């Protein structure tokens, strides 16, 4: 999802970008990644790792696959970048936090994931920094964009179909638009930011129902249509194989040394919904 916006954003800023598909370059194959480190694939300043196993529920069953993509592959890339003299930026997640705190999490807060997905992402962070301490870990939160099915995209489809919705109101996060996250990541790279962990996420802390309300406002603004009824419900009404943190809001003050903050959620959602409706048209 993120790569669909990051690649054109990087090209627009004058960067040369090589973005192989998983079929062309298997990041879970140590011998393939070793060729990267040897310079066989050319030299580059930055390697941005967007490859990940992101099916939160699926990771409860497919632990090996999640471990290969979220733990082993990042460590291979980190070692290859160290050998080549390049820097690695590895994208991680707010789900490394357990959600038991009522306050937003900073980069220095202890991590305590509560599901296999979060555990593999936390282990991936450790494997990257162990292999190459010059790396950057960029944690994102509740990522959304137009290229794949995500929460706002599904809501817009439901709005058009006129279906009433029941939406969880006891899970909190910081929704992050792929356009904005791409801009912030590129700013970090262009500034050659110090190694370490950065939270690269939205500036608004909302629950799922408030998130949906932002999508509804943008949809009504763009179409003039009234959205179907939305009812807030507790997450207990939607049991899932993997637990979700009650609160995974992450603080973004640290990254602002290098970049402007994410735009407000209503502005970002206006931009997204216009893109979605334009694509449909």
Q: Pseudo-torsion of CA 81, 133, 200, 64, nearest 10°?
A: 70
The Cα–Cα gap between 144 and 276 comes to 12
Q: At what angle do helices 151-161 and 265-280 cross, to 10 degrees?
A: 60
Q: Helix 151-161 and helix 208-223: axis angle, to 10°?
A: 50
Catalytic residue status for 198: no
CA dihedral (95, 157, 207, 272) positive or negative: positive
Helix axes 116-131, 73-84, angle to 10 degrees: 20
Report the C-alpha gap between 182 and 190 in whole angstroms: 12
Q: Which of 105, 117, 198, 211 is catalytic?
A: 117
The residues annotated with a catalytic role in the active site are: 117
């Amino acid at each position: 999802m993120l790569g669909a916006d990051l690649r054109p954003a990087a090209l627009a800023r004058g960067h040369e970008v090589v973005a192989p598909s998983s079929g062309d370059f298997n990041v879970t194959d140590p011998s393939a990644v070793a060729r990267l480190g040897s310079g066989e694939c050319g030299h580059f300043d930055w390697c941005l790792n967007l490859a990940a196993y992101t099916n939160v529920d699926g990771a409860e069953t497919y632990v090996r696959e999640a471990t290969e993509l979220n733990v082993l592959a990042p460590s291979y890339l980190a070692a290859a970048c160290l050998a080549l003299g390049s820097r690695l930026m590895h994208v991680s997640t707010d789900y490394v936090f357990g959600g038991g705190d009522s306050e937003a999490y900073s980069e220095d807060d202890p991590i305590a994931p509560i599901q296999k997905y979060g555990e593999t992402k936390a282990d991936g962070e450790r494997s990257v920094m162990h292999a190459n301490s010059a790396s950057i870990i960029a944690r994102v939160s509740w990522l959304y964009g137009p290229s794949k099915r995500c929460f706002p995209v599904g809501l817009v489809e439901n709005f058009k179909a006129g279906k009433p919705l029941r939406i969880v109101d006891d899970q909190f996060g910081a929704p992050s638009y792929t356009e904005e996250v791409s801009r912030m990541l590129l700013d970090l790279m262009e500034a050659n930011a110090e190694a370490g962990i950065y939270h690269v996420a939205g500036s608004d802390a909302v629950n799922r129902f408030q998130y949906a309300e932002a999508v509804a406002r943008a949809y009504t603004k763009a179409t003039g249509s009234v959205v179907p009824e939305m009812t807030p419900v507790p997450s207990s009404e939607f049991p899932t194989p993997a637990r979700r943190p009650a609160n995974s809001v992450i603080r973004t003050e640290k990254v602002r040394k290098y970049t402007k903050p994410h735009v407000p959620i209503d502005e970002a959602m206006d931009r997204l919904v216009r893109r979605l409706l334009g694509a449909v048209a």
